[in-house]
Amino acid sequence: RNLSIFIDDSRSLKRLFHKKALIAVVSAWIILFTILGLSGVEPFGQKDKAFGFGFDYSFVPEGALKYMDKRNITGRIFNLFQWGQYITWRDFPKRTAFVDGRGYLPVDLLEKQDLARRRPSVLDELYKRYRFKSILVEYPVDDAGISDVLYNTDLALSDPRWALVYWDDLSLVYLKRGGVYDSIIKKDEYRFVKPANNISGTRARLHDKNYRENLIRELKRNIKETGSSKAYAFLGFVYNETGRYRKAIEVFSKVEDVPGLSHLLDAYSGIAYAYGRLGYMDKSILYYKKSLRLKNNATTLYNIGIVYIKKGDEKKAIKYLSEALSLNSNLMSVYPQLIAIYQSFGMKQEVEKTLKMYEKARVQGEGGEYFKKGIKTYLNNRPDVAAEWFEKSIRANPSNPAPYSNLGYIYFDMGVIDRAYEYQKRALDIDPDFANAHYGLALIYKKLGDTEKAVREYKEYLRIEPAGYYSRRAKKAIEAME
């Protein structure tokens, strides 16, 4: 609406004068507010707010864009859908967004945008068409927990022809090798740390002094440049793994609570581990319990149980170890500890019960390992080998819907629609609310031209996972078909 509504139905000259006075006051306030905001007078000119709307910069890649300003990185950006309008508002025409959400946007473009991060051939296709000069993305969700076994592949962008030059707690910036920004790459590239991957994946390489020192150097550089809590958490992990426990506590203590991206869980657990290694068992328990208050985690419960064993309090250890198993019966490390305590107390019935659970978990755990190998080979563009691993995972643990659904996606990619449909349905036979299987069925129905059923399955996916990994694409697909 505009200010003219105040005078549309004036019944008297007196009322009109009142309205004009009101308009004058409002106009004067807008002018004053603008001057105060532009002058930086608090609270109107807060550095972390955009004028007029209390804009929160923690949800847009402002740090990355400031880095691009500093390095004069311009032109078209391969960006996230949800960041496009902010980039356009902030930087046009200096920089333009690859997608910005205004007007019609083909659903298949969003799908390719996501696939491009994992498949270099798709990224090449989009690059040849749109000629973006930089890539600005958020962190992927490692739902499959595969970053530990796939650490040499950057989960944020798998194509090695693009170099990581900036990262903070929200976003990552990549530049294409062999182009106009080679001098920036030479100066700024991160060659050792992969911030999108789980830092524990570095464990196997930390014995290499050269690798370890370069990793620490890059993490310290990132802390200096961005103050990233992720960098503090990663550095604390490295210090713990290399026996520098007091340094780990110091570094973990600097981790801040970033909305939606908090590393406090890692920090509290890391501090607890360090105190335990230093012999401060009560402090160790204190920080593990702080971690538990953030998230009820089976591994944390197990760690508390282990600390109580070290303190000689096996009754309390039973409590926490049992809770860990009730939360995750596949946490294999719990069983030997719990069985040993039961045996020491002569609790034969509990020993037999736990041994049976142990054997069942062992079989299921084997299926989980096969599943991870399937994910790894699929991301390495070997779908035929991935299918074999998923089949093994099903044989080891036929009650898990995930490998069935993944096989469905592989067959869909291969164009074997009947088999794709069969495996998605088998996943739903096990768990009717397995969201990824509903999304897989939606793709199948869409390909077959059955719009009504495709929309139904997209909506089922959104019902189960309203903020899920594919939710944005599901909503766009529904808009396009309804």
pLDDT mean by block of 10 residues, the chain; 482 residues: 31 41 46 43 41 57 97 94 90 90 70 86 93 93 54 85 96 96 97 88 81 96 96 95 95 85 88 96 97 92 94 96 92 89 94 91 80 84 90 86 92 91 89 90 92 92 82 87 83
Helices 471-481 and 435-448, axial angle in degrees (round to 10): 30
Q: What pLDDT score does 332 carry?
A: 84
Task: Give the count of beta carbons closer than 10 Å to the beta carbon of residue 435.
Answer: 21
Q: What pLDDT score does 58 carry?
A: 62
Same fold? 229-363, 399-481: yes
pLDDT in tens, 400-416: 888 999 999 999 999 99
Helices (DSSP H) in 167-228: which residue ranges?
182-188, 209-226
Cβ 410 vs Cβ 388: under 8 Å: no
Cβ 307 vs Cβ 284: under 8 Å: yes
Cβ 34 vs Cβ 45: under 8 Å: no
H helix or E strand, kind and range, residue 365: helix 348-379
pTM of the model: 0.73
Helices (DSSP H) in 76-146: which residue ranges?
84-91, 107-116, 120-130
State how far the Cα of 117 lies from the Cα of 379, in Å rounded to an integer: 10
Q: Which CATH architecture has domain 399-481?
A: Alpha Horseshoe (1.25)
Cβ 422 vs Cβ 434: under 8 Å: no
Task: Give the count of beta carbons closer than 10 Å to the beta carbon of residue 204.
Answer: 10
Task: Give the count of beta carbons closer than 10 Å to the beta carbon of residue 172.
Answer: 24
Q: Name the residue with tokens 């990581």.
A: 164
Cβ neighbors of 227 (< 8 A, separation 6 or more) are none
Cβ 296 vs Cβ 323: under 8 Å: no
State how far the Cα of 351 lies from the Cα of 344, in Å rounded to an integer: 10
Structure tokens at 210: 């050269």
Q: What pLDDT score does 214 carry?
A: 96
Q: What pLDDT score does 13 carry?
A: 35
Structure tokens at 339: 């069985």
What would you measure as the largest C-alpha separation in the chain, in angstroms?
96
H helix or E strand, kind and range, residue 475: helix 471-481
DSSP-derived secondary structure letter, 98: S
Helices (DSSP H) in 13-168: which residue ranges?
13-39, 62-70, 84-91, 107-116, 120-130
The domains of the chain are located at 3-39, 57-188, 229-363, 399-481
Cβ 166 vs Cβ 208: under 8 Å: no
Cβ 300 vs Cβ 292: under 8 Å: yes
- 471, amino acid identity: S
Q: Tell me the CATH number for domain 229-363.
A: 1.25.40.10
State how far the Cα of 345 lies from the Cα of 233, in Å rounded to an integer: 40
State how far the Cα of 197 lies from the Cα of 193, in Å rounded to an integer: 9
